Amino acid sequence: MDTQSLIRALSQDAAAGAARLDHRLALGLALAAGLAAIVWFVLLGPRQDIAEALTTVRFPFKFVVTLALAVSAALAWRRIARPGAPLATVAPLLLAAPVLLAAGVVMELFAVPEGQRMARLIGTNATVCLTFIPLIGALPLAALLAALRNGAPTRPTLAGAFCGLAAGGLAATFYAAHCIDDSPLFVATWYTIAIGMLTLTGALGGRFLLRW
Amino acid sequence: MTEADEADLARMFRAALEGDEQAYAAFLERVAALVRAVTRRKAGSGVDTEDVVQETLLAIHLKRHTWRPDAPVRPWIFAIARYKLVDSLRRRGRRVEVDIADYAETLAEPVEDVASPREVERALDELPPGQRRVVAAVGVEGRSIGEAAAAFGMNETAVRVALHRGLAAIARGRR
């Protein structure tokens, strides 16, 4: 079949419509958030003293960081779905969460005497955190990867990493409402490792699943 | 390539996405010439240029809804062409750096006698018979949808569906 024939065949198929990519992506993101919420609610639920915790500084600050990550990663995820769309305008936003968290860590180091810092970092929930953030994020990661297959990412591994980062941001946001360790030292250590696991899984998944 | 080309291509592609078959054919011709020129220059021997051209055309067709009608069209085309070229070189065990700028600087070459590459041919052969005969009739024999429908005793919608599914299967099977 020569190229002229192929072009003839393709052009006759011009009218065949495809679902708008933005709709598919929005659906995928909503599904991811819904799945994270369900898994979190079934496995963990909110901490008992959540009303009281909301009056502190450290507990709400966890959400500032995790939501910054979820939103910035979702924007990068949406952008990388389209070939030739510049990442340069969304990539810097990914720095928001790490920068906020680093600022929180610095303030915590000023606020907490040296002898107690290690205890804050270790916390009481480290293994729970390392277990449940990946667990809450697994299905959302699958949903984000599946939605991105409707797009055309020309960098599949990076695109998969964005899926993992966004799933990690969602999972961490829900997990944070359960966890009683609110110190930025704890968040910077264990949340980072847990989200890193999801990001690596996403990158690996993207490498194989996001080719087209 | 100039700004006029960008506007031209975008106009043709917008019309194509609204179902204008002639505009779509013209758009794909321009894309084919562009991709052919860059592939010849970058890939050298050992790569069937026309295979890469056809792979890119199929990818563009399969993923045409990922173009935003208000976005520039050339960066979109170049990103897909580059992805497909690198992909086909990798499958042949070669590593090559292909810069987006290679596409932007290239003037489209005129269409010359093009060989009939094997890969699409093979993919076509693997289609279910119903899809294969429709794709062959419309593509190779150059029949219209209506003519194909009459020849096979099908209605036009069924022909369109068979064509659409056949082309999508060819595009997906060739990655």
Instruction: State the average pLDDT for chain B.
Output: 83
Return the residue in B53, B65, B122 with the most chain A beta carbons within 10 A, the one to mutate for interface testing.
B65
Q: Does A151 touch chain B (CB under 8 A)?
A: yes
Q: Does A19 touch chain B (CB under 8 A)?
A: yes
User: Is residue A38 scored above 90 in pLDDT?
Assistant: yes
Q: Which residues of B touch A80 (CB under 8 A)?
A: none
| Cα separation values, A26 from A22, A52, A78, A199, B91, Å | 6, 34, 9, 20, 33
* Res A83: pLDDT: 96
* Res B96: pLDDT: 61
User: Is residue B152 scored above 80 in pLDDT?
Assistant: yes
Structure tokens at B20: 């204008």
Q: Which residue has the higher pLDDT, A23 or B121?
A: A23
Q: Does B155 touch chain A (CB under 8 A)?
A: no
In chain B, the domains with their CATH numbers are 1-115 (1.10.1740.10), 116-175 (1.10.10.10)
- Span A138-170, pLDDT tens digits: 999 999 999 999 999 999 999 999 999 999 999
Give the residue from A204, A182, A157 showing the smallest Cα distance to A66.
Answer: A182
Give Cβ neighbours of residue B21 (< 8 Å, ≥ 6 apart). Answer: A11, A12, A14, A15
Measured between CA atoms, the residue of chain B closest to residue A208 is: B175
Note whether B114 contacts A8, CB cutoff 8 Å: no
* DSSP conformational letter for A188: I
Q: Residue B148 belongs to what H/E stretch?
A: helix B145-152
Q: Give the mean model confidence (pLDDT) for residues A112-136.
A: 92
Contact B80, B53 (CB under 8 A): no
Q: Give the mean model confidence (pLDDT) for residues B70-98.
A: 83
Give Cβ neighbours of residue B101 (< 8 Å, ≥ 6 apart). Answer: none
Q: Give the mean model confidence (pLDDT) for residues A43-54.
A: 94
The span from the CA of A172 to the CA of A162, in Å, is 15
Structure tokens at B52: 């890469």
Residue that the structure tokens 């959400």 belong to: A63
Question: Assign residue B56 a region: left if phi > 0, alpha if psi is -120 to 50, beta otherwise?
Answer: alpha
Structure tokens at A152: 């055309």
Structure tokens at B168: 């999508």
The span from the CA of A110 to the CA of A129, in Å, is 25
Scan residues 32-61 of B and list those with Cβ closer than 8 Å to A: 32, 50, 53-54, 57-59, 61
Q: Residue A136 belongs to what H/E stretch?
A: helix A126-148
Q: Which residues of B touch A147 (CB under 8 A)?
A: none
User: Is residue B1 scored above 60 in pLDDT?
Assistant: no
Note whether B144 contacts A10, CB cutoff 8 Å: no
The span from the CA of A22 to the CA of A6, in Å, is 29
Q: How confident is the model at residue B37 (pLDDT cuts 50, 70, 90)?
A: confident
Q: Which residues of B touch A12 (CB under 8 A)?
A: 21, 138, 144-145, 160, 163
Length of chain A: 212
Length of chain B: 175
The span from the CA of B39 to the CA of B53, in Å, is 8
